Amino acid sequence: MSHIGFLGIVGRVFIWSFLLGLVVVVVYPLLWMVMNGFKTNTELFGNPFALPLDWSWESYVNAWNRGVSGYLAASVLVTVTSTITTVFISAWAAYGLTRVRLPFGGATAGFILGGLMLAPTVALVPLVKMFQSMGLYNTFWALLILYTAFRIPFTTFLIRAYMIDLPREVDEAAEVDGASRWTAFWRIILPMSKPIIISVVILHVLFSWNEYLFAMVFTSGTDMQTLPVGLTSLMSKHGTDYPVVFAGMVIAALPVVVLFFICQRYFVKGLSEGIGK
C-alpha cells in the first residue's frame, strides 16, 4: 500500500469518526430527553441513563393537560403569522432593492440592513412603554409586531443576496408581455427564489419558536404564553415532576425537528447560494 493511499484511509477514518462523534453529541441528548419522558421521578433520579422500566405515556399526557396544548397553539399562531408577514415584507423589499431603481437605493439598503445592529435588549424598556400606551401589551399583536420588525433586516439581507444574481432577462420578458411589477414578483421572481424563501422560513420558525425574552416580557400571565415561557410553569418550587418537564420539551421540539428534516435540502441550498454570493 502506498504512502498516499494509507494517508487517504486515515483521513477517511478520521472524518467518519468525527461525524460519528458529532451525531452522538447532537442526537444522544435528544434521545435521552425522549427516554426520560417515559420514566417516573424515582426512575429518573435512581438511574438517569437507564431505559425506562415501564414505557408509559402518562408524563406526555400530563404535560399536554397541564397547559402544553395551549402553549403549543399560541406558539403555532405566533410563529405562522410572523413568518408569513416577515417573509412577504422582506421578499417584497428585496425585490425592490434589486429590481427597481430607487433614489438613494444604496442608502436605503444600508438603512434596512442597519437594523441588524439593533439589539432587542437595548430597546426593551422603551418598547414596553410604547406597547402599554398603545394598548398592545400582553396581546398577540405585540409578539407579531416584534418578531416581524426585528427579523425583517436579516431576512431581507438573505433574500436580497439571492435575488441579486437572478437573470434580469426574465423581468424584461415579463415587461414585454405586459406584466406589472407585482405580477413579475409574484409569478416569476418569487418561484425562482424558492430555496432562499424556504431557508428564511426555517430560520424564522426557529427564532420565533424558541424566542424567550419578548415572549416572557410581553405576554406575562396571559393565555398567549408561548412554549419557551409556558414550559417554565411546569417547574415547581415544592417538587418538580421532571418526566413531565422532559415530555413537554419533547412536544415543543418535535414540530421544528420534523420541519427541518422535511426542508433541509432546500435550506442548505438556499443558504449556500444566498450567503455565498
Domain with 209 in it: what CATH number? 1.10.3720.10
Q: What is the arithmetic mean of pLDDT over 44-54?
A: 83
Instruction: Identify whether 20 is part of a domain.
Output: no
**What pTM, to 2 d.p., does this model score?**
0.82
Residue 115 near residue 152 (C-beta atoms within 8 A): yes
pLDDT value for 8? 65
Residue 198 near residue 270 (C-beta atoms within 8 A): yes
Question: What CA–CA distance (Å, rounded) separates 142 from 136?
Answer: 6
Instruction: Identify whether 169 is part of a domain.
Output: yes
Cα Rg of the chain (Å, integer): 24
Instruction: Identify whether 28 is part of a domain.
Output: no
Q: What is the pLDDT of residues 150-161, one digit of tens each?
A: 898 889 888 888
pLDDT value for 83? 95
State the pLDDT confidence band at 89, using cuts at 50, 70 and 90: very high
- CA proximity to 170, closest of 119, 99, 223, 237: 99
Instruction: Identify whether 223 is part of a domain.
Output: yes
Distance of CA 73 to the CA centre of its chain: 16
Q: What is the pLDDT of residues 202-225, one digit of tens each?
A: 899 999 999 998 998 888 766 788
- CA proximity to 37, closest of 193, 231, 177: 231
Residue 209: partners with Cβ closer than 8 Å, 6 or more residues away: 75, 79, 226, 227, 252, 255, 256
Q: How many domains are there within the chain?
A: 1
- Ranges 31-45, 52-66, 157-171, 260-274: which has the least confidence: 260-274
Instruction: Identify whether 35 is part of a domain.
Output: no
Range of 253's domain? Answer: 70-274
Question: What CA–CA distance (Å, rounded) separates 89 from 100?
Answer: 16
Instruction: Identify whether 190 is part of a domain.
Output: yes
Question: What CA–CA distance (Å, rounded) separates 266 from 226?
Answer: 27
Long-range contacts of 227-235 (CB under 8 A, 24+ apart): 227/68, 227/71, 227/72, 227/74, 227/75, 227/252, 228/252, 229/71, 230/67, 230/68, 230/70, 230/71, 230/74, 231/68, 231/71, 233/66, 233/67, 234/63, 234/66, 234/67, 234/68
Instruction: Identify whether 40 is part of a domain.
Output: no
Distance of CA 154 to the CA centre of its chain: 13
Write the CA distances from 185 to 86, 93, 128, 175, integer angstroms: 16, 11, 36, 11
Instruction: Identify whether 217 is part of a domain.
Output: yes
